[in-house]
Amino acid sequence: MKMNGNTILITGGATGIGLALAEAFVQAGNKVIICARTEENLKQAKEKLPQLHIRKCDVSKEEDCEALYAWVTANFKDMNVLINNAGIQRMIDFRKGTEDLIRHRMEDGEDEIDANLKSLVYMTALFTPHLMKQKEAAIMNVSSGLVFYPMPAVPIYCATKAAVHTLSILLRQQLEGTSVKVFELIPPMVDTNLDKGARKARGQTYFGITTAELVQPTMKAFESDEYEIRVIDPKLASR
C-alpha cells in the first residue's frame, strides 16, 4: 500500500490508537480526517495536529454515519482509506445479571456491541462502494490480541473483537480482485484510556506498550501489505 498521498478517515481518531495513527499518517504525507463523539477531544487533537480535518460523529448511530459519509464524499472525493478504530471496553460480570450492562449505559451512554461491531459493519457497508471506485484503497479494522487470548473480565469486548476478526477475513475474500485491500490491526494491550481506568481498578501495574510502539510496526506492515498486523508486546512475549 502506498504510504503517502492517501486521504484517510479514522473513526475514534481523537485519542489513543486512533490519534497515534492519525499523527503517523499525517507525518508520512497523507490527508487525515478523524471523527469522534466528543467535541472537546476533537478540538484537542486539532490543536496537537493542525493538519487534521475533524468531524463530530457517533458512529454507533446510523444517522450519524450517513451524515459523515455524505460530508466526506462531498468534501474529500479522493478519500481512499477507512480505518475502523472506534471502540470501548467495559468490565461486565454476568453473575450480576444486567447490572453492569445498565450501569455502563447510564454512565457513558454507550453500548459495547454498537460501538465495537455495529458501527464498524455500517461504516464498512457505507464506504466500500466508494472505496471500490478508487485506484488504490484500503480498509483497516482494529481488533485486539484478546481475540486469541480472551479475558473473562471483559467478555463483550472480546466477543465483539472476535467478530471483527472474522468479518475482516470474509471482507478480504469478498473484495479480492477489487482495488480495496483489507487490513486488520491486532494490537496487544496498549496504554490508553480505552477501559477508563478499569485495569488500575483490577490492581494491574503494567498497562501495555505505548501507542508509539504500536504505530511503528503497523506502518511498516501497512506498507508491505501484511493484511493481519499482529503487534507483539516484547515484555509479555519474553515471559
**Domain positions in the chain:** 7-182
Mean residue pLDDT of the chain comes to 94
Q: How far apart are CA 148 and CA 235, in angstroms?
A: 18
Active site residue 157: yes
Express each pLDDT in 51-95 by its tens digit.
999 999 999 999 999 999 999 999 999 999 999 999 999 999 999
Q: How far apart are CA 239 and CA 232, in angstroms?
A: 12
Non-local CB neighbours of 5 within 8 Å, separated by 6+ positions: 29, 30
Express each pLDDT in 3-55 by its tens digit.
999 999 999 999 999 999 999 999 999 999 999 999 999 999 999 999 999 99
The pLDDT, as a whole number, for residue 237 is 64
* Catalytically annotated residue among 69, 122, 149, 157: 157
Length of the chain as a residue count: 239
CA neighbor of 116 nearest in space, from 139, 77, 143, 150: 143
Query: In CATH, what class is 7-182?
Result: alpha beta
Express each pLDDT in 98-120 by its tens digit.
999 999 888 877 899 999 999 99
